Chain A
């Protein structure tokens, strides 16, 4: 194995993952902006750009497979490539959640609906987690990744709280129940973003320490 070539390949793969991460963060931000402002152009951008993220994921996967097959990496090199494949998959799924939200907000108007600011706050927490875990990945910081994973409990609590409030609103205002249902779906998508960030945190811990952890 030629370590110098391996390092170059790893660095290229890392760059593509960080690019994917940036695109995915933007997708969530845009989808939620659209939710806030009812701007369908942003939703279309999210839906259209998903192809780019999917292609990046395929590229990362192919590059990892190629390096594993040709260079038979071991130790940290092997862990990094395995983590890269896993992280790329998680980012691709997060981008799918953004698309799912974008499709909802494109066809429904949530302009005067209750709890909007709470849901936006929830999305900000998710975006914060996503941004931070990408930094932890770049810095291979297991400790910080562990801290970020802990924030998922807060996201879960927010989801339960918002769900309860929406169920009450549905009973009080049954005429708006369709929009409330869509809100529940958006909240669920955001909660899944938290789960996926937690999975990325597990990969960061594995790649930097070799320790297999389960933060669920």
Chain B
């Protein structure tokens, strides 16, 4: 279990600590600090993310949850003022080791953003672009199969199979987001990071993405940042609450939403603070 959190004992509060005996660690974050220049945005984060589970990161704006998410695939490396300390071990290897290529990290740890951001290319090209670039497939039947498989997994194939040559931007917002998920899946990652993936979508499209997430967790480990408490409650197996750069509480989602162990968590999720 993570180090910087305390769980009241079962007997006193009914709090149910994360039972991790049957879970496989996919990502182990240890002593993670992140600085934007002199400003420390993440403070000694210790957390284990489990394989084939959905982990939700919640917390008020500016609490560090998106910054933390971007640490998991070294997206913060793109910001010049950022300095990262600590380790993020994925499948036994620290992705911040000097011998690790950040592009290969991002191939294994894909990302879906708040705003759907399809390339200004056809639906087909959106999905095939990265696999072709990485040399995973060559143009032809195998590439076609990969595009079809990815769009099927993203629950979009039936809606777009007859218009693959049309621009990705011609799709609706919800379809564009699923196209972005298909694009992420196409490079066969192990982990999918989602940064508020439905905040720009209507309830119907949101429901489709959430259903998709529940299907995808069979094959992938998913970490999602969300401001939507109900969404975390609906889809996440585990939930982590961040506040002012600190990980305040991490537990089964059920525990967080029925009987959180920390007052700060309770105040935040009940709308009394944050």
Contacts and interface: CB of A to CB of B under 8 A. Distances in A.
A210 B14 contact: yes
B269 A74 contact: yes
Nearest to B229: A74
Contacts of B78: none
Given A78-B257, A79-B258, A210-B259, A73 B270 contact: yes
A77 B230 contact: no
Interface string B1-25: 0000000000011110000000000
Interface in A56-114: 72-79
A113 B269 CA distance: 60
A161 interface: no
B140 interface: no
Nearest to A2: B271
Contacts, number: 46
Nearest to B272: A3
A168 interface: no
A38 to B, nearest CB: 48
B259 A75 contact: yes
B257 A210 contact: no
A74 B266 CA distance: 8
B260 interface: yes
A209 B13 contact: yes
A150 interface: no
B109 to A, nearest CB: 30
B270 A79 contact: no
A74 B258 contact: yes
A15 to B, nearest CB: 20
Interface string A1-22: 1110010000000000000000
A172 to B, nearest CB: 51
Contacts of A79: 258-259
Nearest to A74: B257
Interface in A4-62: 6
B233 interface: yes
Q: Name, among A206, A210, A212, the residue most crowded by chain B CB atoms within 10 Å (CB to CB).
A: A210
Interface in B242-271: 257-260, 265-266, 269-271
A1 B270 contact: yes
Nearest to B10: A211
A212 B269 CA distance: 21
Given A1-B270, A3-B270, A6-B271, A75 B260 contact: yes
A3 B266 CA distance: 12
Contact of A76 (B12, B233, B266): B266
Given A74-B229, A210-B14, A210-B15, A3 B271 contact: yes
A127 B229 CA distance: 42
B133 to A, nearest CB: 43
Given A79-B258, A210-B258, A210-B259, A74 B13 contact: no
Contact of A1 (B257, B258, B259, B271): B271
Interface in A168-216: 206, 209-212
A212 B12 CA distance: 11
Contacts of A3: 270-272
Interface of B: 12-15, 229-230, 233, 257-260, 265-266, 269-272
Given A75-B266, A76-B270, 17 more contacts: A1-B270, A1-B271, A3-B271, A72-B229, A72-B230, A73-B270, A74-B258, A74-B270, A75-B257, A76-B266, A79-B258, A79-B259, A209-B12, A209-B259, A210-B13, A210-B14, A211-B259
Closest 10 CB pairs of A and B: A210-B259, A211-B14, A210-B14, A1-B271, A3-B271, A3-B272, A74-B257, A75-B266, A74-B269, A209-B13
Interface of A: 1-3, 6, 72-79, 206, 209-212
24 contacts: A1-B271, A2-B271, A3-B272, A72-B230, A74-B233, A74-B257, A74-B270, A75-B257, A75-B258, A75-B260, A75-B265, A75-B269, A75-B270, A76-B270, A77-B270, A78-B258, A209-B13, A209-B259, A210-B13, A210-B14, A210-B15, A211-B13, A211-B259, A212-B14
